[in-house]
């Protein structure tokens, strides 16, 4: 990519990083405000789950096609319009008058995020062709993701408790508007367009099938649980699974005809990749659900404020960054054993939370054990991609990374729907004992997922040789 001479590439980098910054903030910021949103919009428990799962599902369905859009139409153009629609849908979220309106807006906000975030890494690769500069830029990308997680947790708690012309919870979405507008101006002024790919075409059929299949299945298991599993929810869930089966069959046909599918499933011939994806699936299922359950339990179960809840997550984020930095120096030597150690720390955290986090021990025990979880997760989350891709041929690096990111978002949505469903299904009335029982059930489900992750990692080779990581939460 040729830059305008007057614009330094290091000046353009912060502009590019606004996309992952906003995307990650909007994952974490809503966790702290869920109890307040539920009260203000008279939302059901399934509505609450869909506020998070819908955002992740929209993102997952369009991550790969968002990247392909940049190839065909130009990365600056897609980056700008992705930011535009993210800003617009944030307005719709902020002014939603019902839980249904908010969930629809969140789904489209997730779709728009997929188009803008996929351009950020691609633009970094274009902007920084020299390996040492690219490594530094990618490092700033990882730092941005970690900072965004901290900002989302604290800002969500703070904004939820203030009223400034509108209810505080609405500000968690409306705050995106000035940032988005400034970013769009900067994109137009400082980012240079990239060359457009002239050959090939989108797999629109695959994108539609993936969205319908995931949407049907996730909506069925969230709304169906809320309504005691009526027949329509069972039929819709089965329909979703059938469509997903047809999606993978369609991708298989597209792959062998060399028609540029969303997922080149020939990569699944490498058993290490398939096993690694299963580890990704179950890890992100319990990780995303755990963060939601913790925020709801602290606020509704133990009665702390949204702001205090956000502050309680600061040690978690700091220990995550410290342990991930230390692990990055040791991964080449110790490989998957680093991740297994992280899983052991998380298991210890979960067991201690089941034993200790109640009204007698107070929120302080929760804060310390959530921090312990962050310590363990810092040894795992940034390095799963290294482990999954360790034995994959370099020609599959691009598509395997895209599949990894898609599975990550799908797993997060499923975690909110399934493990979050177990949590909410246990809550029968608003007292501390009920929330404690629900939290324990969710943690037990998380432990089952954790054990599966450990088994999958044990089946993989011992070392990780690639220098690829996604230091995000």
pLDDT digits (tens, 9 = 90+) for 350-392: 999 998 877 666 677 888 999 999 999 988 877 776 677 666 7
408 token code pair: 């990550």
Q: Per-residue pLDDT for 84 more than 90?
A: yes
In angstroms, the CA 130 to CA 260 distance is 29
Of 181, 172, 179, the C-alpha closest to 102 is: 172
Residue 143 neighbours by CB under 8 Å, 6+ apart: 471
pLDDT score recorded for residue 140: 79
Please report which confidence band the pLDDT of residue 199 belongs to, taking 50, 70 and 90 as the band edges: low
What's the whole-number mean pLDDT along residues 151-168? 81
Please report which confidence band the pLDDT of residue 4 belongs to, taking 50, 70 and 90 as the band edges: very low
pLDDT score recorded for residue 6: 41
pLDDT score recorded for residue 314: 85
- Burial of residue 90 (number of CB atoms within 10 Å: 0-12, 13-18, 19+): buried
pLDDT score recorded for residue 270: 82
The neighbouring-strand residues paired with 166 are: 164
Select the more confidently predicted residue: 203 or 345: 345
Phi/psi for 13 (5° steps) reads -55, -50
What's the whole-number mean pLDDT along residues 270-298? 89
Is the separation of the CB atoms in 295 and 309 below 8 Å? yes
Select the more confidently predicted residue: 63 or 282: 282
Element (H, E) at 35: helix 34-40
Of 10, 240, 269, 52, the C-alpha closest to 139 is: 10
424 token code pair: 């909410």
In angstroms, the CA 32 to CA 27 distance is 10
In angstroms, the CA 471 to CA 78 distance is 24
Of 466, 451, 337, the C-alpha closest to 404 is: 466
pLDDT score recorded for residue 113: 92
Q: What is the chain's mean pLDDT, rounded?
A: 83
Which SS3 state, helix, strand or coil, does residue 166 take?
strand
Taking each helix axis from N to C end, the angle separating 314-334 and 362-377, rounded to the nearest 10 degrees, works out to 30
The neighbouring-strand residues paired with 164 are: 166
Residues 406-449 have pLDDT tens digits of 788 888 888 988 899 899 888 866 666 788 899 999 999 999 99
- Give strand ranges (E) for 14-110: none
CA distances from 6 to 10, 11, 129, 190, 421 (A): 12, 10, 19, 9, 53
- Burial of residue 48 (number of CB atoms within 10 Å: 0-12, 13-18, 19+): buried
The neighbouring-strand residues paired with 121 are: none
Residue 6 neighbours by CB under 8 Å, 6+ apart: none
Q: Per-residue pLDDT for 5 more than 80?
A: no
In angstroms, the CA 38 to CA 228 distance is 20
* pTM for the whole structure: 0.81
């Amino acid at each position: 990519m040729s830059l305008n001479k007057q614009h330094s590439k290091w000046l353009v980098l912060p502009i590019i990083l606004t996309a992952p910054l906003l995307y990650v903030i909007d994952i974490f910021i809503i966790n702290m405000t869920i109890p307040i949103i539920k009260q203000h919009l008279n939302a059901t428990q399934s509505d609450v789950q869909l506020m998070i799962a819908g955002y992740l599902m929209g993102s997952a369905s369009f991550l790969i096609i968002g990247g392909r859009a940049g190839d065909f139409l130009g990365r600056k153009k897609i980056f700008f319009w992705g930011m535009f629609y993210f800003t617009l849908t944030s307005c719709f979220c902020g002014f939603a008058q019902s839980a249904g309106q908010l969930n629809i807006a969140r789904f489209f906000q997730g779709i728009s995020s997929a188009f803008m975030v996929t351009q950020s890494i691609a633009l970094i690769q274009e902007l920084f062709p020299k390996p040492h500069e690219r490594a530094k830029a990618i490092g700033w990308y990882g730092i941005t993701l970690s900072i965004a997680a901290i900002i989302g947790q604290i800002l969500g708690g703070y904004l939820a408790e203030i009223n400034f012309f509108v209810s505080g919870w609405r500000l968690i979405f409306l705050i995106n508007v000035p940032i988005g507008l400034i970013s769009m101006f900067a994109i137009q002024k400082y980012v240079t367009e990239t060359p457009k790919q002239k050959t090939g075409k989108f797999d629109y059929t695959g994108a539609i099938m993936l969205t319908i299949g995931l949407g049907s299945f996730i909506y069925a298991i969230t709304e169906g649980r809320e309504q005691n599993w009526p027949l329509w929810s069972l039929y819709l869930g089965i329909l979703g699974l059938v469509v997903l089966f047809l999606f993978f069959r369609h991708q298989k046909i597209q792959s062998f005809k060399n028609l540029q599918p969303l997922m080149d499933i020939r990569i699944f011939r490498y058993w290490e990749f398939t096993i690694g994806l299963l580890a990704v699936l179950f890890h992100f299922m319990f990780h995303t659900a755990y963060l939601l359950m913790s925020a709801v339990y602290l606020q509704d179960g133990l009665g702390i404020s949204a702001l205090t809840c956000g502050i309680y997550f600061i040690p978690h984020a700091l220990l995550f960054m410290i342990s991930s930095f230390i692990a990055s120096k040791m991964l080449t030597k110790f490989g998957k054993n680093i991740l297994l150690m992280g899983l052991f720390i998380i298991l210890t955290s979960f067991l201690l939370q089941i034993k200790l986090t109640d009204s007698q021990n107070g929120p302080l025990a929760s804060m310390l054990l959530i921090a312990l979880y962050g310590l363990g997760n810092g040894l795992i989350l940034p390095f799963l991609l290294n482990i999954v891709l360790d034995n994959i041929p370099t020609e599959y690096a691009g598509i395997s990374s895209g599949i990894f990111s898609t599975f990550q978002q799908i797993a997060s949505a499923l975690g909110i729907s399934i493990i979050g469903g177990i949590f909410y299904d246990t809550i029968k009335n608003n007292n501390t004992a009920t929330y404690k029982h629900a939290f324990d059930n969710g943690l037990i489900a998380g432990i089952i997922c954790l054990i599966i992750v450990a088994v999958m990692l044990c089946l993989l080779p011992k070392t990780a040789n690639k220098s690829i990581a996604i230091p995000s939460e």
